[in-house]
Chains A and B, each alone.
Chain A
Amino acid sequence: MKSSELPPLASVPFRGLGAFLWTEVLVQAHENLAMATSMIVQGVLLVFVVILAPGLIGIALVGAILFSMFAMGQRVLNEAAYIRIDHKANDLYLAGPLSPEAYFLGISLGILVVYLTPVVLLGVITAVVVPLSVEVAALLVGLAAVVWLFAASIGYVFSTFFRDNRAIWAYASLFFNVFGVLPPVFYPFARFPPALQPIALMMPPSAAAAIVQHALGATALTGAELALALGSLAVETVGAFLFAIFWARRSVRGD
């Protein structure tokens, strides 16, 4: 085909998303071991809860679902940095018609599609152990999606700052475990030090957990606390997502 015969192509937002998502699904699906080990932290914490405080298993299961979605952000960070630093895949894909936002979302959604299976299994166990109404189940699914979007967005943005994979492993693990395990995600919000509770309500994983615990009747949030949790989740998630889109476009070209 002669170059002059090619049709003019405009830059289209999200162009190539479906195909690149499928690429990432294929890549991730070949790593069965990683999928199987994606539940280790949650599994260990659930075992601790069963032994130490079996009455809290329902809350812990809900927390495990939310944490699993948050931890996918760590996978986005690791994967985006790895294929950029080790494979130069960003150069290969972004010096072409694939849109930068499709590249970011393709990685994120590809990981979500593959790693959702163990989360769904966790959801089935939760539904058996905890009597969830349809409304609360829908709330949990919605909040899990919001937590994932937030985590994937910040994971992608952070991935662009590193030049060495070794540094990423340490920081990513620290960041996602501190923000996903330490605050009241796996345990009742009321047991978190009162002075620090507003901070927990401003952090997406613990804000989502507190809202679900409130809906389950396991935690009583005041109207102001509920507003803070919902408002923080909305503002931070929308802000993180829009910034990630902006940053995906901006970071195609280095300085």
Chain B
Amino acid sequence: MTEQPIHLRIRRQDRPDSVPYWQEFAIRGRPDHNIVSLLMALREHPVTVSGERVDPVVWEHNCMEEVCGACAMLINGVPRPSCSALVAELDQPIRLEPLPKFPVVRDLLVDRRRIDQGLKQVKAWIKIDGVWDTHEGAPRIGPSEWAANYLYSRCMSCGCCMAACPQFGPHSAFLGPAPLAQARLMNAHPTGRYDKTERLHAIMADGGLSDCGNAQNCVRVCPKEIPLTTAIGELGRQTTVQLIKDLFGPR
């Protein structure tokens, strides 16, 4: 493989409240680079195509195996983890932008704490008595049920689904697909199910399930192919049943 110039257009922003601007770079590299390795090469010699030396580009990365979720950004208009975006498979110039919908910290670095807040809102945890051994595990889970749950447990909070969702953003209180899918996961667990009602009430409130516009963008961009819309559909049925229970339940 020979080295050749790889053309990049990067949307930069110095501070959360400053105006974004574009810069262009041509980096000598091999086609087996991914976007993270390319940005690493760029920071060693951050010079634009017009020869101007600029600040190294700020972005987030950690595992580089598409399992930590840190490095998601908009690449040629598509939200995706940048460590698994191979240069050979991308049209040039490659456009890099921060993940939309989340506040920009600097350049390609964004603040995704709304995902965390959403996980708190839907109570995406199982209540356990304490982190000591109770000398008993959890109830058995059959292999097919395990397989369905495992799909959701691989969500790494990268935020791609949220970035692609037309309903989620600074303009709305919508929780977004990632936290909703975790509510589905916790409701399916044999003991997590004990708090199902609480979770369903959380997603029946403002910014909950009914704000989903069914655009299906989330499921198309999820790098882990998590069936987010299936989760939302399942939760829809669960909330309907819950609504009836709430109306006719024990007083």
A and B from one assembly? no
